[in-house]
Amino acid sequence: MLCFRRLPLVLVVLSLAGCATQAPPPTPRQEPVAFQPPPPTPAPQPPAIVPRGEPAVPPLSQAAGPFFTETGLASFYGRAHAGKRTASGERFDHHDFTAAHRTLAFGTLLRVTNLSNGRAVTVEVTDRGPRIKSRVIDISLAAARALHMQKKGITRVKLEAFREDQPGGGLTGMTAFSGSEAR
């Protein structure tokens, strides 16, 4: 009989023990997230360093490459040549951004970059030269000042000609000295 008296007590204890533990709450269902690539970052642009009074070099399209590239020594010619006629027939002015090149057509616009300091200017080919074989270009005094090379006299440069920079949107095949131009 003792067993029957303990049975209700055991049932009460078991029922209370069952209430003490609860099942964990259901976790909310998460929808799968579609992968979204990060937005493209723009290509870094070199900082435009244009001292007051010097011409800015316009930025070029990154897709467009130069049709002419040359690296070598540049020198400059200045006041001593002022007023003299160039091979293209124009009068030389050392305040203009002009250059002498052996083969490029007159009127070609060249980007000249000083490789020692990264400065760049755009010059127009108006003359033939340089006469010294180890040099690739002679530039005007104004261009030499803009490149910070007038004190040194000569410096290593990179020459680039881009179709987008040329008058009329590009040269029509006349990129080299044809022999009919005055030397």
Q: What one-character-per-residue DSSP string does 23-78 give?
A: PPPPPPPPPPPPP-PPPPPPPP-------TTSPPPPP--SSPPPSEEEEEEEEEE-
Look at residue 80 in the predicted model and tell me its pLDDT. Answer: 78
Q: How many CB atoms are located within 10 Å of the residue 160 CB?
A: 20
Q: Which tokens is 98 given?
A: 């002009």
Look at residue 3 and give its three-state secondary structure: helix
Instruction: Evaluate the CA torsion angle 21, 27, 28, 29 in order and state its sign.
Output: negative
Average pLDDT score over the chain = 77
Which CATH code is given to the segment(s) 70-166? 2.40.40.10
Specify whether the CB–CB gap between 144 and 96 falls below 8 A: no
* pLDDT tens, position by position, 36-55: 666 777 666 655 555 555 55
* pLDDT tens, position by position, 79-129: 777 888 998 999 888 899 999 999 999 999 999 999 999 999 999 999 999
Question: Torsion-angle region of residue 129: left (phi > 0), alpha (psi -120 to 50) or beta?
Answer: left
> What's the CA gap between 51 and 6, in Å, rounded?
101
pTM above threshold 0.85:
no
Of 32-36, 62-66, 84-88, 136-140, where does mean pLDDT reach its minimum?
Answer: 32-36
